[in-house]
Structure formats: C-alpha cells, structure tokens
Structure 1
C-alpha cells in the first residue's frame, strides 16, 4: 500500500515534528541550570535552620524575651528568603519562556525552510488511487499518488501530537 520514495526526508521531517512538540520538555533541563538557588539563599536557609534548632532548646515560658528575639530573626530571614525565591522564580519563568520561544522559532524556521527547499520531493507513494485527494496530497510534486513534503509535515505533525498527547499530559 505504501512505498517510501525518500526515506531520509521522511525521517528528517518526523524528527523535526517531534522536536517541535517536545520543545517545552527539552527546555526544562536547560532552564534548571540557570535558576538554582544562590549561595546567599542557601546561607539564609542554613541560618534559619540553625536559629530554629537553637530556639527549640529555649523554653518559651521561662525565657520569653530570648525566644521572641530568635523568632523575629527567623521571621525576618524567612521573609528575605521568600523575596529572593520569588525573584528567582520570576527569573526562571522569563528564562523558560525565552528559551522555549527561541528553540521553537529555530525549529519552525528549519522546518519551513526544509519544506520550501524540498517542496517538489515526494516522500511516500501510495499504491492505490485516492482520486479526489491525489492532487492535494502530491502538490507540487509531479509523481502520481505521492505525498509531498507539505502534506507529509502536516500529517506527521498531527499524528505525532495525537500519539504523544496521552504520554505528555
């Protein structure tokens, strides 16, 4: 029923369509490298843990002033840590969005340029005749009953998205 005319292009466009779909998942590790907690945040966190452990050693009833003083320091450090982490998270979101857009644009440009470059190359030839769809499927290729690169990209993109949707959701 099917005859692969150009196997290289078939695999090439399948890989491009798959990359296009997986961009959000591929950029996560890239972003994770840029948005790790800073040394200052780690130091503050260690100090909070140290203050909490020393606070637990103090009796709240007997040494209320010392206990309250430690609690104020802890609250101050926790608010500073919260501000720092919110700043880091907003930076993370900006980097993630930018990385996704850049990679998606690059994959999109490569796909469009490849479709334009190989527009006359048939990818697959069908054995049967699909009379009403034959012209649409092969355009601009001249091979009868062929599927052109345009149609192959559309079919591959739709098929891969449908197949990966349950896995990625």
Structure 2
C-alpha cells in the first residue's frame, strides 16, 4: 500500500466527509422544503389574519360590538391554529435534521471502518524511522511495520488537517 494510492484515497474520503458535514444544514433545509408542503397554507393563514386585523381596525368597537367581538374571536382562533401548525412544522424539521445527521454519521463510520478493514495490515506510507522514533509503534498501529504509518493514525491526522483547513477557508 505504501507505493500505491491509498494515502490519496483516505485523504479524499476524509475531505469528502468533512465537506458533506459542512453541507448538512443545507441538506436538512432542502429535505424539509421537499417534505413539507404546508408553507403555502401557512402563508394563506397569515394573509387571512392580516386581512381580518385590517377589517377589525376599520370597525368601531362602540357601534358594532357584536361584529367586532366575532371578528376578534375568529382572529384568535386562526392565530392559535397557525401557532399549532408552525409548532408541528418545527418539530418535523427537527426530526428531519436529526435523521440527516444520523444517516451521515452512520455512513461516515461505515466508510472509515471499511478503510481500516481493507488496509489493516499495510502501512499507508513509510517514513524514515528517525522521524517518528519515540512513537514508532503507536504510529505504525495496526500494521506494525517499522517506520510505517498505519491506517488509523493516517485517518486521525487527515481528519484533523482537513478540519483545520476547512475551518480556515470557511
């Protein structure tokens, strides 16, 4: 594996995972819009409430109390219905965000485990032993090759470097 492309494969996988992680909020928002078609209904309710409030402001409370009270009750009822609707939509958005995050982390874990499984015995790259002398066995884990960098160490280093790089860019 040291002479091959595995270091690039691991780095690319880590970069892709971190890029997708930064896009999770946008993905959640998109899926919320796709699955929730109630935005038009909410907008209609808001417009209806505004119209009723304008009508209410044009009515004299002293002269037409019964009509004023009926309209006020209708406004309150529609407002309560809108609040309930918004609350349920918000709860559904939270569920969608949660599911998207869970799916992402499961897929990321599966990818990392498959990379570790495939390249368990081979070092990703081989460095001169002097460079990593005190930590040679730890860095070589799980391959055990002297001077080698194991897949787990390479994944940790790549994750950290990519996260710092993306944080600096974004």
Whether these two folds match at TM > 0.5 is yes
RMSD of Structure 2 on Structure 1 (CA)? 3.0
- TM-score, with structure 2 as normaliser: 0.77
Please list every run of 5 or more consecutive structure 2 residues that lacks an aligned counterpart in the other structure. none
- Count residues in correspondence: 166
1:28 is aligned to 28
Please list every run of 5 or more consecutive structure 1 residues that lacks an aligned counterpart in the other structure. none
CA 1:126–1:26 in 2, change beyond 3 Å: closer, same or farther?
farther
CA 1:84–1:63 in 2, change beyond 3 Å: closer, same or farther?
same
* Alpha-carbon shift at residue 5 of structure 1 (Å): 6.1
Q: Distance in 2 between matches of 1:81 and 1:108?
A: 41
- More divergent stretch after superposition (93-102 vs 134-143): 134-143
CA 1:27–1:137 in 2, change beyond 3 Å: closer, same or farther?
same
Name the structure with the higher strand share.
Answer: 1
Q: Distance in 2 between matches of 1:123 and 1:69?
A: 76
* Alpha-carbon shift at residue 158 of structure 1 (Å): 3.4
After TM superposition, list the pairs within 5 Å mapping 1:41-80 onto structure 2.
41-80=42-81
CA 1:116–1:144 in 2, change beyond 3 Å: closer, same or farther?
same
After TM superposition, list the pairs within 5 Å mapping 1:12-161 onto structure 2.
12-19=12-19, 21-22=21-22, 24-25=24-25, 27-33=27-33, 34-35=35-36, 37-127=38-128, 128-141=130-143, 143-161=145-163
Tell me the secondary structure at the aligned position of residue 113 of structure 2.
helix
**Higher relative contact order, structure no. (Cα contacts within 8 Å, ≥ 6 residues apart):** 1
Q: Distance in 1 between matches of 2:110 and 2:62?
A: 69
CA 1:4–1:74 in 2, change beyond 3 Å: closer, same or farther?
farther
* Alpha-carbon shift at residue 98 of structure 1 (Å): 1.6
- TM-score, with structure 1 as normaliser: 0.77
